[in-house]
A = this chain, B = another copy of it.
Amino acid sequence: MRKEFRISGFGGQGIVLSGVILGRSAAIYDNKNAVQTQSYGPEARGGASRSEVVISEDIIDFPKVIKPDVLVCMSQPAFDSYGGDIKDQGVVIVDRDLVTVPEGYKEKYNVKVYEIPFTEIAYKEIGLKIVANIVMLGSLTKITNIVSKEAMEKAILDSVPKGTGEKNILAFEKGYNYI
């Protein structure tokens, strides 16, 4: 079963790293196939960042997201750009303090919306705003149940700078347990 993720925000939030970790977790530790793509166009020069991941138990013949099952927005411009492009019954996850979801959005697109204070959790619980992306991965893992918690933790440890593993795993747990 093919599942498509789009993770979006601004540069410096670790959007690309989130996608790399998600792809690795599925493919290397959960025995699935994954393709993870960054597209950079003119919008990237305005500071926007976007990463897409396709996960499947079968071979992935088309590597790009067609219509996301899961959309993450870590900035208002990201939500404004991508909020309308989501599968029926999809899941939309936003940073509560950075994105305002308009009234009626959930009903209009028939999606589940999670508004979570990722950056606040990162700052208050870990002391580092920069791990908001890892907090987000924790919540995403629990909400979507597409990759396992163990696979994500291993992929995080593979991917973050040496010496920061413990803080990142803690950030992941905080996001996971928030749900």
Query: What is A's interface to B at a CB cutoff of 8 Å?
Result: 11, 16, 20, 23-24, 26-28, 31, 33-42, 44-45, 59-60, 63-64, 158, 161
Q: Are A20 and B27 in contact (CB under 8 A)?
A: no
Which residues of chain B are near A161, meaning CB under 8 Å? 161
Would you give the shortest CB distance from A39 to chain B, in whole angstroms?
5
Q: Are A40 and B33 in contact (CB under 8 A)?
A: yes
Copies held by the complex = 2
Within the complex, which residue of B40, B59, B60 is in contact with A24, where a contact is CB–CB below 8 Å?
B40
A63 to B36, CA, bound (A): 11
Query: Smallest CB-CB separation from A163: which chain B residue?
Result: B161
Would you give the shortest CB distance from A89 to chain B, in whole angstroms?
27
Q: Are B38 and A20 in contact (CB under 8 A)?
A: yes
Q: Are B35 and A36 in contact (CB under 8 A)?
A: no
A16 to B16, CA, bound (A): 11
Q: Are A31 and B16 in contact (CB under 8 A)?
A: no
Q: Are B28 and A45 in contact (CB under 8 A)?
A: yes
